[in-house]
Structure 1
Amino acid sequence: MNQQRQPLLRSMFAPVRALFVSDASAGILLIIVAVAAMFAANSALSDEYLTFFYGELFEKDLFKLNTLHLWINDGLMAIFFFVVGLEVKREWIEGQLSSPEQRRLPILAAIAGMAVPAIFYLFFVQGSAEDLTAGWAIPAATDIAFAMGVLGLLGNRVPASLRLFLLTVAIVDDIGAVMVIAIFYTANIKIGWILGSALVLGLMFAMNRMKVSSFTPYIVLSLVLWFFVLNSGVHATIAGVAAALTIPMVGKDNDTMLEHLEHGLAPWSAYLIVPIFGFANAGVNLSTIGMEGILAPLPIAIATGLFLGKQVGIFGIVLAAVKVGFAKRPEHASWTEIWGVSILCGIGFTMSLFIGELAFPGNRMLIDEAKIGTLIGSLCSAIFGYIILRFTTTHSDAQEVIEDTPKTA
């Protein structure tokens, strides 16, 4: 009797076990943080919540980051982007993006997964009273931790190839988001600070070529680079990605410098930096925005772009690429499973919130509407993607899925 019950018990507790052996815990933490932020913003603590993050710490003339919210978005998030940069470099040189064959389908899917949501967005905001075109990139991003967290809850039901596909698409998506921020969300360029940034970055690349194996000079110069970029007009978080690209893969003693640094910082990024960012940015006071604001063109456009645009773009391009022989379908994955994972790519929590702040600087109402659209679109993508994968997949090789799933930043 006990032997008969063991497989059933293992099946029942597979999602719980996944919290400790996969990326599910980081995703669940983000869900909790988002709920907590919405509770704080819509409770008796609303004023304290806003004052804590947006209250001035000192005069703007003293230093431009004069609120805790700015320190989180422009300072702390630079570390998150640094970890993203490390992951991108490792994957590009020796990981899942290291060969043309491996890059082909994820890059194609990521491009379509950014372009089609942007088209959906622009379609729904046309004719609106305000010019909302600046927010076109908000629904273009995929949140790695959130999406992988939903997959983790599915335990052994999703083949390893699809987990890998989702991860690589999200990594390429991050590259695209960084480029979008650098190109389209940049204020007035200050040439002196740009030249100073280029000089510091050149020095860091020179240290790379000389195989400087101490982390200290890279950390010091990364802080200098961040300060220069902060004052240059380019968003400060770009300094994190640029600095990460200078870290050597191996040092003088052939120690794995980049991987060691990535593994050391990834937990801090996933379990501290991103949750702090989420709590500071996800809270919206619904009483001030009202039902009219929730149903306004901006949140509808973002939610539609994330939920519909992502799945149409990614699933459509994968289907077309496989049918014409340009790329191979992920192994052991059905078209229904690929569709389910395409829907999960519409979870855009972290990057979407971040770009929303950049798209409408100083306009609190539009920023709040962008947050609502991001939360609705991400929630719909998470729920529907989970349901499709939960009730249509039949894979049972749990050990293979767990062992083959790479860890994310």
Structure 2
Amino acid sequence: MSTARPKNEQDAVLSRGTYRELSRIERILTAETTGGLILVIAAGLALLLANSGASEAYASFRDAHIGFHIGPLNLDLSIGHWAADGLLAIFFFLAGLELKQEFVHGDLRDPGRALVPVAAAAGGVAVPALVFVAITLRGPEGALSGWAIPAATDIAFALAVLALVGTHLPSALRTFLLTLAIVDDLLAILIIAIFYTSDLQPVYLLVALVPMAIFALLAQKAQSWFHRSFTAAWILLLPLGLITWALFLNSGIHATIAGVALAFLVPATAREKDGVRYSLAETFEHRFRPLSSGFAVPVFAFLSAGVAVGGFSGLVASWASPVALGIMAGLVGGKILGIVGTTFLITRLRRANLDPAIRWVDLVGMAAVAGIGFTVSLLVAELSYDSGDPLHDIAKVGVLTASLLAAIVGALILIPRNARYRRIAEEEKVDTNLDGVPDVFTDDSSR
């Protein structure tokens, strides 16, 4: 069977990518699903402890300081800050690897194909931020500092929900969500680097160029060795990464940006040796994703999501705050408006239509799932308000509530759609391509 797509599909918005890209997306979906479930368990346990008799012990553990000074480098942080600044650097390292692979051989390498998810991600960042600003404009003093909280999408949590409710949705739609979430991460990274940088110390950044240069040289020259040996990267690259992270931490730029900077230095161009085709970025992503989704992000969630809500009355009072309302309206409504509205605008400007396998209601469901902010939103909340500020906990209540609501709204829309696609798949004869892989991307206008 020919693998060429018909012209109307090639010109369509959100059409499917290459088989290589779809295979990579499926692997990421599978890995992130487990991580998302662990994330939910960690956050639930934190909420339980923070609102029980163990609340003082939980807070004491989170706020306990561990660390030291090495010359001018200050590495004395609370356990909570070690999780937010240290463990999340692993999460952002993975995000950086995903970004680089998207730019090298994913949808983002093609400007025409990249336009839709990039623009949709930008709309999904800008509109929620504007919604938050509109609601908190006359709110408490300092409330506007959290304008970027509803801008983020949590990849692991969103993909976990999608895996549960969207098993039969078109792969092009799932690819769109992942690509959008990756671009969303890039925008969140830029926001953190630009707007949440305080007391910039450029000397530390200049010194950081030295270990980064050595990291890049080793990653480039010893790709095959790092691909073969699991321990080589830990022995040679990890110390350089830790030095870079410590320098970023003391530079005034949030330390998680070091993870992205290092990820961009990892080669993503595929190589072939002894009949095996690989890229070092893909190798590292495969090896370190379990560390990120199974440990780093859940530990951060456990230490960050533990908010004492003060019973039902306290919860209602938090919900009534302009900050919580702004976050909930931004993540639940703003994301849908920004993502779907931007995509609709592009279809009108390009005089194009959605891929024949996709309907606008599917896109609305995906946009709702993208409103699950969680990890990065919690991080931005911590950067926006001091721990002693009442808005700190109120913002976290808003993030947790909004993420739950977004998951529910997305599920309510996508579960019936998924059932419809399942019936179609059962009724139709599924074509098989030359590789024996089911090809479900038929042009069926009845969908």
Give the TM-score taking structure 2 as reference length. Answer: 0.80
Q: How many residues align?
A: 386
How many angstroms does 1:60 deviate by?
Answer: 8.5
Instruction: Give the one of 37, 41, 57 matched to 2:50.
Output: 41
For residues 149-228 of structure 1, the aligned pairs below 5 Å read 149-208=160-219, 210=221, 213-214=225-226, 215=233, 216-228=235-247
Answer with 243-252 or 279-288: which moved more. Answer: 243-252
Distance 1:220 1:251 in 2: 26
**Structure 1 pair 265/285, CA: closer, same or farther in 2 (3 Å)?**
same
How many angstroms does 1:368 deviate by?
Answer: 0.7
Given the alignment of the two structures, is residue 245 of structure 1 paired with residue 264 of structure 2, yes or no?
yes
Answer with 94-103 or 225-234: which moved more. Answer: 94-103
Distance 2:271 2:384 in 1: 40
Are the aligned partners of 1:211 and 1:252 in contact in 2 as well (CA < 8 Å)?
A: no
Are the aligned partners of 1:147 and 1:344 in contact in 2 as well (CA < 8 Å)?
A: yes
Q: Which digits, 9 at most, give the CA deviation of each residue in 1:200-248, with x for residues without a partner?
A: 3334344455466543433222111111111111111100000111112
- Structure 2 match to 1:114: 125
Are the aligned partners of 2:91 and 2:297 in contact in 1 as well (CA < 8 Å)?
A: yes
Return the letter of the residue paired with 1:260.
T
Are the aligned partners of 1:161 and 1:331 in contact in 2 as well (CA < 8 Å)?
A: no
- Structure 1 match to 2:391: 366
Are the aligned partners of 1:65 and 1:71 in contact in 2 as well (CA < 8 Å)?
A: no
Instruction: Give the one of 26, 34, 41 matched to 1:32.
Output: 41
Which secondary structure state, in structure 2, belongs to the residue aligned with residue 247 of structure 1?
coil
Are the aligned partners of 2:65 and 2:76 in contact in 1 as well (CA < 8 Å)?
A: no
Are the aligned partners of 1:30 and 1:275 in contact in 2 as well (CA < 8 Å)?
A: yes
- Structure 2 match to 1:5: none
**Structure 1 pair 327/70, CA: closer, same or farther in 2 (3 Å)?**
farther
Return the letter of the residue paired with 1:275.
P
**Structure 1 pair 56/139, CA: closer, same or farther in 2 (3 Å)?**
same
Instruction: Give the one of 277, 288, 291 matched to 2:300.
Output: 277
Q: Once the two structures are aligned, what percentage of the paired residues are identical?
A: 36
How many angstroms does 1:192 deviate by?
Answer: 1.6
- Structure 2 match to 1:93: 104
Return the letter of the residue paired with 2:36.
G
Are the aligned partners of 1:125 and 1:132 in contact in 2 as well (CA < 8 Å)?
A: yes
Distance 2:339 2:328 in 1: 16
Instruction: Give the one of 322, 345, 352 matched to 2:377.
Output: 352
Q: Which digits, 9 at most, give the CA deviation of each residue in 1:317-342, with x for residues without a partner?
A: 11121133266524511111111111
How many angstroms does 1:174 deviate by?
Answer: 0.5
Return the letter of the residue paired with 1:30.
L
Q: Which digits, 9 at most, give the CA deviation of each residue in 1:59-113, with x for residues without a partner?
A: 8999443311111111111111111111111111012222112211000000000
- Structure 2 match to 1:395: 421
Which secondary structure state, in structure 2, belongs to the residue aligned with residue 286 of structure 1?
coil
Distance 2:41 2:51 in 1: 15
- Structure 1 match to 2:408: 383
- Structure 2 match to 1:260: 283
How many angstroms does 1:48 deviate by?
Answer: 0.9
- Structure 1 match to 2:88: 77
Answer with 288-297 or 226-235: which moved more. Answer: 288-297
- Structure 2 match to 1:8: none
**Structure 1 pair 298/47, CA: closer, same or farther in 2 (3 Å)?**
same
Q: Which digits, 9 at most, give the CA deviation of each residue in 1:369-392, with x for residues without a partner?
A: 111110111111100110111124
Distance 1:174 1:203 in 2: 26
For residues 289-304 of structure 1, the aligned pairs below 5 Å read 291-304=316-329
- Structure 1 match to 2:116: 105
Q: Which digits, 9 at most, give the CA deviation of each residue in 1:16-51, with x for residues without a partner?
A: xx9x95743322222222221111110111111111
Give the TM-score taking structure 1 as reference length. Answer: 0.87
Which secondary structure state, in structure 1, belongs to the residue aligned with residue 77 of structure 2?
coil
How many angstroms does 1:155 deviate by?
Answer: 4.5
Return the letter of the residue paired with 2:237.
Y
Distance 2:107 2:417 in 1: 27
Distance 1:136 1:165 in 2: 25
Are the aligned partners of 1:139 and 1:306 in contact in 2 as well (CA < 8 Å)?
A: yes
Distance 2:394 2:83 in 1: 21
Given the alignment of the two structures, is residue 124 of structure 1 paired with residue 135 of structure 2, yes or no?
yes
How many angstroms does 1:364 deviate by?
Answer: 4.1
Which secondary structure state, in structure 1, belongs to the residue aligned with residue 107 of structure 2?
coil
**Structure 1 pair 164/292, CA: closer, same or farther in 2 (3 Å)?**
same
How many angstroms does 1:273 deviate by?
Answer: 1.0
Which secondary structure state, in structure 2, belongs to the residue aligned with residue 97 of structure 1?
helix
Instruction: Give the one of 213, 238, 254 matched to 1:235.
Output: 254
Distance 2:191 2:30 in 1: 33
Q: For structure 1, which runs of at least 5 residues remain unmatched after alignment?
A: 1-17
Structure (1/2) with the larger strand percentage: 2
